[in-house]
Amino acid sequence: MMSLTKKALLDKLDQLFTKDMPFMKQFSARTEFFDEHRVLLRFAMDKGLVGNTMSYILHGGAIATMLDTVGGMLTMAAVFAKNPDESEEAQRARLAKTSTVNLLINYLRPGIDKSGGDFIAEARVVRCGSRITVCEMKLKDSESVLLASATGTYMNGT
C-alpha cells in the first residue's frame, strides 16, 4: 500500500481534528496554517465554551482542549514527516496509538477577547524523537495577547 502525499496526509489530519472528532465540533475550529513544524487553529467564543457565566470567560478546559489539539495534530504531522515511506496502513496504525503523555498549562490571562475576534491556538515542535514528541503551544486573542502557554509531550504511536 502506498503512503499518502504530504498534502493529502495534512488534509486528512486537518479533517480529523477540526471536523470529524465529535468533541471538537463545539469549537468550530478553522485551520489557518498547518505543516510538520507549526499549526495555527482559529476559533470564536461560543456560549458552550464559557466557564464563568458572570464575565463570559472561556472555560479552562476549553483552553486545555485547544492547546492539546494543536499539539497532538502537530505531533502526528511531525512524526509522519520523519517517516515519509510508511504505508497508509502503517500511518493509520500509528495514528491510532498516538496519545498525550503530559500536558502542562500556564493560564496567564482570562479567556476574554475584548475586540470580539477569534482566539488563536498555535503549536510548534520542540523535538520530535523516535518515541516522544514535545511541542510548545500558545493561546492568544485576536490582538495577539497571550492568554495561556503549554508544553505537551506526546507518544508517537510506536
Asked if 64 and 103 touch (Cβ cutoff 8 Å), the reply is yes
Is 23 or 136 the better-scoring residue by pLDDT?
Answer: 136
Q: Could you report the per-residue pLDDT of 59-88, keeping only the tens digit for each?
A: 888 899 999 999 999 999 999 888 888 888
Q: Is residue 34 in some structural domain?
A: yes
Indicate the average pLDDT of the chain: 86
Query: Which three three-digit cell numbers place residue 135?
Result: 511541542
Q: Is residue 47 in some structural domain?
A: yes
Number of domains forming the structure of the chain? 1
Q: Is residue 1 in some structural domain?
A: no
The domain containing residue 123 runs over which residues?
Answer: 6-18+28-156
The share of the chain scoring above pLDDT 90, in percent, equals 42
Q: Is residue 104 in some structural domain?
A: yes
Residue of 153, 142, 133, 139 whose CA lies nearest to 37 = 133
- Amino acid identity, residue 111? G
Q: Which CATH number goes with the domain that contains 55? A: 3.10.129.10
What is the torsional sign of CA 16, 83, 151, 7?
negative
88-97 vs 60-82: helix axis angle to the nearest 10? 150
Position 105 confidence tier, pLDDT thresholds 50, 70, 90: very high
